[in-house]
């Protein structure tokens, strides 16, 4: 492989390429649009489009597409070639500013949650110049927003950009109060750690549940699992190492800052972590990363599983969202700093986040709510469904001292007077990490650990940005009117700590006692998607999101419906797959084995040998077969009942309370039968082969 620096970003129309291919005036105008949101002139758009096309064609591209992120949770693209007919019968390669700025994909076939009727097909994609165009295969991909004919957002990028602008607006108000007049922009940055499983494709192809649902619906654990902790950070197997090498190369070509790779806790589980970057770009990059992971896996005869819980009984996969706030002058607003001035500013932003997470814990929870993630949250590899924050001993002591106007027991035992006392320097970690915490401070950023591995990070960051923007707005409203800024600042920080300290928990989130304690504190425990999603419609949430113009009320209503629809449809597909596998694979396998055992018993009897083992096994399998058959019939009946329910909220409750328990009731005897059935009769690969089949 060539030197990474020689090909990094080679397939991206980035700042280097723009400088080299645009005139100075066009480049300056485009940068003003990107950095300051200035309106893009059509003459500039035409010049950019021409340069983009020439560059893309030189890289072998023949088509372009407006690459967008509809509410399906994945990306979408419609390819158009650059060709236009020439008078002499040949073709010209053309691409205009109009084509760059706006596309018109059919909007009727994407989820809209009632925003669009089926016959209302028109929708628009609009170029997002803040995210660089890139080449994938032979296609120039132009990151875009996606909206309806009426202007409603039908994607995840548009609300994300709105939330970033909302936070920017309120953060600038706060910074001006501290005299930071040189700051022109505040942006959030994210580094999403991506967990995934790799399984052999020949084995995957024999499992209908993996093909249709992305997870195993049946399967008993092999004799060895993850109990020895020997896979975590272990030596990477040659086949996996080759995959990772190719994956890195493809990601680096696209300018994605893939940094860290290692084995995760579960067998066949791995992780990739990037260097964090601006939230909008990080979201685009993570969508690309998931897509490229799966494409590269296919080249190696592997399948990359991004489901949150592909295997029962072993750790599932998450996506840790490392989130921070920084100014365009290079100051991380969540870094404690070294001077009293910086300390006070840091503390205000810190308590803004604490307040946001407490006030809008339901929004953070529902932002990560999916059928897949419901299996993972609360298990011993993921945070509980209760949202809480971890700050660590050092910061906790500082906040306690402020709340009580007491001496701080650190290096300088000085009463906490904001703007005077110097916080302990965070050059090294002053506290342990807490991997059980949903929302943990990690030195100069927060790690939101509740996201599932297949989630778009857009949803969580929309809610996080918006909630923090609201906290900052409330602070700015108070501080801008204050006669004595320092006194008002002290009061705001102190009162916020007192009012919102219930959300801070530095202990073991896996401990059952914490769930009981959280309930006493008044924290929410929204265990499932049907519990969480309707909270989006709560008045406080609608008021906040609409006030900051992140969503309209209609957009909020549409997303509630879409997410619940996705939940019920996902579980319905799983239930249908289960009954299909039971009828066509599991029951026939058990019957075949029973027949084989009966023939063996008969043969033994003929030569005078007692067939006690065979008879006992036949009896056990016969009883299990009856249970499997009955559970299959019951699940079929419940699926038929579900199909009669028209209201999506009612349907989600039926799925949660009836369908999922019926699925569990079918799986239990099927897995028990698998454990005692001769493997040569079983119709699909077992967990042992799947988890340990890649070497």
DSSP string, 539-599: HHHHHHHHHTTSS-HHHHHHHHHHHHHHHHHHHHHHHHHHHHHIIIIIHHHHHHHHHHHHH
DSSP state of 431: S
Q: Evaluate if residue 379 carries a pLDDT over 80.
A: no
276-300 residue pLDDT tens: 899 999 999 999 999 999 999 999 9
What's the rounded Cα separation, in Å, for the pair 461 and 283? Answer: 9
Q: What is the pLDDT of residue 276?
A: 87
Q: What is the pLDDT of residue 393?
A: 83
How does residue 428 score in pLDDT terms, banded at 50, 70 and 90? very low
Q: What is the pLDDT of residue 35?
A: 81
Q: What is the pLDDT of residue 150?
A: 81
Q: Evaluate if residue 381 carries a pLDDT over 80.
A: no
The residue ranking higher by pLDDT, 340 or 111, is: 111
Q: What is the pLDDT of residue 615?
A: 96
Domains of the chain: 4-155 (3.10.20.70), 163-551 (3.30.590.10), 566-692 (1.20.120.1560)
How does residue 394 score in pLDDT terms, banded at 50, 70 and 90? confident
What's the rounded Cα separation, in Å, for the pair 76 and 506? Answer: 41
Q: Evaluate if residue 112 carries a pLDDT over 80.
A: no
The three-class DSSP label of residue 129 is coil
Q: Evaluate if residue 462 carries a pLDDT over 60.
A: yes
Provide the residue count of the chain: 695
Q: What is the pLDDT of residue 416?
A: 46
Q: Evaluate if residue 384 carries a pLDDT over 60.
A: yes
How does residue 196 score in pLDDT terms, banded at 50, 70 and 90? very high
562-621 residue pLDDT tens: 999 999 999 999 999 999 999 999 999 999 999 999 999 999 999 999 999 999 999 999
What mean pLDDT, rounded, does the chain reach? 92
The residue ranking higher by pLDDT, 392 or 386, is: 386
Q: Alpha helix (H) ranges present in 482-538?
A: 485-500, 512-521, 529-532
How does residue 165 score in pLDDT terms, banded at 50, 70 and 90? very high
Q: Evaluate if residue 420 carries a pLDDT over 50.
A: no
Of the candidates 169, 173, 172, 177, which has an alpha carbon nearest to the alpha carbon of residue 419?
A: 177
How does residue 413 score in pLDDT terms, banded at 50, 70 and 90? very low
- Give the phi and the psi of residue 507 in degrees, each rounded to 5: -95, -155
- Give the phi and the psi of residue 668 in degrees, each rounded to 5: -55, -55
1-47 residue pLDDT tens: 579 989 999 999 999 999 999 999 999 999 988 887 778 889 999 99
Q: Evaluate if residue 468 carries a pLDDT over 70.
A: yes
CA distances to 30, 54, 75, 567 from 78, rounded to whole Å, are: 25, 20, 11, 27
Q: What is the pLDDT of residue 178?
A: 94
Q: What is the pLDDT of residue 88?
A: 84
**pTM attached to this predicted model:** 0.93
Of the candidates 420, 418, 416, 419, which has an alpha carbon nearest to the alpha carbon of residue 404?
A: 416
| SS3 per residue for 210-267 | HHHHCCCCCCCCCCCCCCCCCCCCCCCCHHHHHHHHHHHHHHHHCCCCEEEEEECCCC
What's the rounded Cα separation, in Å, for the pair 398 and 421? Answer: 10
Given a contact cutoff of 8 angstroms between Cβ atoms, the answer to whether 158 and 34 are in contact is no
β-bridge pairing 139-148 and 63-67: parallel
- Give the phi and the psi of residue 314 in degrees, each rounded to 5: -125, 165
Query: Mean pLDDT throughout 327-354?
Result: 88
Q: Evaluate if residue 427 carries a pLDDT over 50.
A: no
Q: What is the pLDDT of residue 227?
A: 75
Encoding tokens for residue 693? 């089949």
How does residue 418 score in pLDDT terms, banded at 50, 70 and 90? low
Q: What is the pLDDT of residue 218?
A: 98
Query: Mean pLDDT throughout 478-505?
Result: 96
How does residue 149 score in pLDDT terms, banded at 50, 70 and 90? confident
Q: What is the pLDDT of residue 252?
A: 97
Query: Mean pLDDT throughout 84-113?
Result: 83
What's the rounded Cα separation, in Å, for the pair 410 and 50? Answer: 61
Query: Mean pLDDT throughout 58-84?
Result: 94
């Amino acid at each position: 492989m060539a030197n990474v620096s020689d090909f990094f970003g080679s397939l991206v129309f980035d700042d280097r390429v723009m400088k080299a291919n645009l005139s100075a005036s066009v480049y300056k105008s485009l940068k003003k649009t990107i950095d300051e949101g200035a309106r893009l002139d059509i003459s500039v758009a035409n010049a950019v489009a021409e340069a983009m096309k020439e560059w893309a064609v030189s890289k072998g591209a023949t088509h372009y597409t407006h690459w967008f992120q509809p509410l399906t949770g994945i990306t979408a693209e419609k390819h158009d070639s650059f060709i236009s007919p020439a008078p002499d019968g040949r073709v010209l390669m053309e691409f205009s500013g109009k084509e760059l700025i706006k596309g018109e994909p059919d909007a009727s076939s994407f989820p809209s949650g009632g925003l669009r009727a089926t016959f209302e097909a028109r929708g628009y994609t609009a170029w997002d110049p803040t995210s660089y165009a890139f080449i994938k295969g032979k296609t120039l991909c132009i990151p875009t927003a996606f909206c309806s004919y009426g202007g409603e957002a039908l994607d995840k990028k548009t609300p994300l950009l709105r939330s970033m602008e909302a936070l920017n607006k309120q953060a600038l108000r706060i910074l001006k109060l501290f005299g930071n007049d040189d700051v022109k922009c505040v942006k959030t940055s994210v580094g999403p750690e991506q967990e995934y499983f790799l399984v052999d494709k020949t084995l995957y192809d024999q499992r209908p549940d993996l093909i249709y649902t992305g997870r195993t619906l049946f399967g008993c654990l092999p004799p060895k699992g993850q109990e020895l902790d020997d896979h975590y950070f272990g030596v990477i197997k040659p086949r996996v190492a080759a995959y990772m090498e190719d994956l890195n190369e493809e990601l680096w070509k696209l300018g994605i800052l893939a940094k860290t790779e290692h084995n995760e806790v579960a067998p066949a589980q791995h992780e990739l972590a990037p260097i964090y970057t601006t939230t909008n770009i990080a979201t685009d990059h993570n969508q690309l990363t998931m897509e490229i992971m799966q494409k590269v896996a296919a080249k190696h005869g592997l399948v990359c599983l991004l489901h949150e819980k592909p295997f029962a009984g072993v750790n599932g996969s998450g996506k840790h969202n490392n989130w921070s706030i920084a100014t365009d002058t290079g100051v991380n607003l969540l870094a404690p700093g070294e001077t009293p001035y910086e300390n006070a500013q840091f503390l205000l932003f810190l308590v803004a986040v604490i307040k946001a997470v407490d006030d809008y814990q339901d929004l953070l929870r529902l932002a990560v709510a999916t059928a897949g993630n419901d299996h993972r949250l609360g298990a011993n590899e993921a945070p509980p469904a209760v949202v809480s924050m971890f700050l660590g001993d050092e910061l906790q002591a500082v906040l306690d001292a402020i709340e009580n106007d007491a001496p701080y027991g650190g290096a300088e035992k000085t009463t906490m007077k904001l703007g005077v006392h110097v916080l302990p320097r965070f050059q090294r970690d002053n506290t342990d990490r807490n991997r059980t915490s949903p929302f943990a401070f990690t030195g100069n950023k927060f790690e939101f650990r509740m996201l599932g591995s297949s989630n778009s990070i857009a949803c969580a960051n929309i809610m996080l940005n918006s909630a923090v923007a609201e906290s900052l707005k409330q602070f700015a409203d108070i501080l801008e009117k204050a006669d004595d800024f320092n006194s008002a600042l002290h009061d705001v920080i102190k009162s916020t700590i007192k009012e919102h300290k219930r959300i801070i928990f530095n202990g073991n989130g896996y401990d059952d006692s914490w769930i009981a304690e959280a309930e006493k504190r008044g924290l929410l425990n929204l265990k499932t998607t049907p519990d969480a999603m309707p909270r989006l419609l709560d008045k406080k949430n609608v008021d906040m999101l609409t006030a900051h113009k992140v969503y309209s009320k209609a957009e909020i209503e549409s997303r509630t419906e879409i997410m619940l629809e996705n939940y019920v449809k996902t579980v319905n597909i799983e239930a249908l797959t289960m009954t299909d596998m039971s009828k066509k694979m599991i029951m026939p396998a058990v019957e075949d084995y029973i027949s084989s055992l009966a023939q063996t018993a008969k043969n033994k009897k003929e030569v005078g040998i007692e067939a006690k083992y065979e008879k006992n096994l036949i009896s056990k399998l016969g009883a299990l077969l009856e249970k499997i058959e009955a559970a299959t019939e019951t699940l079929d009946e419940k699926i038929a009942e579900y199909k009669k329910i028209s209201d999506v909220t009612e349907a989600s409750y039926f799925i949660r309370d009836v369908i999922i328990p019926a699925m569990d009731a079918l799986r239990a005897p099927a897995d028990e039968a698998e454990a005692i059935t001769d493997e040569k009769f079983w119709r699909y690969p077992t967990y042992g082969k799947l988890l340990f089949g890649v070497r």
